[in-house]
Amino acid sequence: MREASTNLLVELEPGSNVTDLLRQREAANPAHALYARKGPNGWTDVPAQKFLHDVCALAKGLIAGGLEPGDTVAVMSATRYEWALVDFAIWFAGGVSVPIDETSTPGQVEWILHDAGARRVFAQDRGKVSLITGIMESSILLKDRLVPVVRMDDDDDAPNLASLSAAGMGVTDAELERHRSAAGLDDVASLAYTSGTTGRPKAA
């Protein structure tokens, strides 16, 4: 097998992590649109400052709920803006994100939540919340663990992203920074599981 390599173009500080990229982008140009969201009246830009603010609010909610650096948080959703928001919030809280494919079977979801030791789950909508809640209520693997489920869509019923952000209002910026800066380049950011077609899903 042929191998090829090149020199690194950029040297990174060992204590840095992916959250630094967002902070640097916001500091360079707070008004720069990082995302565009489609609503009933068309597309709306999400500036870097707004995205960072919302990420920090969610991260504080996770911290207020007891999330510690290195804890895992599962996300079961189709690709959408809220996934990016939640992913960064998990990292800002010092957590490790665990994506779960939206087409996963109940058995696969149960195993991933158990194997990853997920402390919390973000679910796309009511349907996914119902699926995950049903799995946890009937699971032998998960019966002794309390895993809160937060819905990612925009209606008014809690727990959702708005209620999670509100729960973190008492968390200080200093405490958020302690969590955000806990991980370095050698630490795990996300656990991605295989599809499980030849056995139980395995994490990488």
What are the structural domain ranges in the chain? Answer: 19-180
> In a 3-state reduction of DSSP, which class is residue 17?
coil
Average of pLDDT values for 188-203?
84
Instruction: Look at residue 146 in the predicted model and tell me its pLDDT.
Output: 79
Instruction: Look at residue 11 in the predicted model and tell me its pLDDT.
Output: 85
- pTM of this prediction? 0.92
The single-letter code of the amino acid at 17 is N
Instruction: Report the mean per-residue pLDDT for the chain.
Output: 93
Instruction: Give the tens place of pLDDT for each residue, 78-121.
Output: 999 999 999 999 999 999 999 999 999 999 999 999 999 999 99
CA angle 50, 164, 183 (to 5 degrees): 70
Q: In 6-125, which residue ranges form alpha helices assigned H by DSSP?
A: 19-28, 48-64, 81-92, 106-116
Which CATH number among 3.40.50.300, 3.30.1370.60, 3.30.43.10, 3.40.50.980 corresponds to the domain 19-180? 3.40.50.980
Instruction: Look at residue 145 in the predicted model and tell me its pLDDT.
Output: 80
Average of pLDDT values for 51-59?
98
Residue 1 CA to residue 6 CA, distance in Å, equals 17
The single-letter code of the amino acid at 60 is K
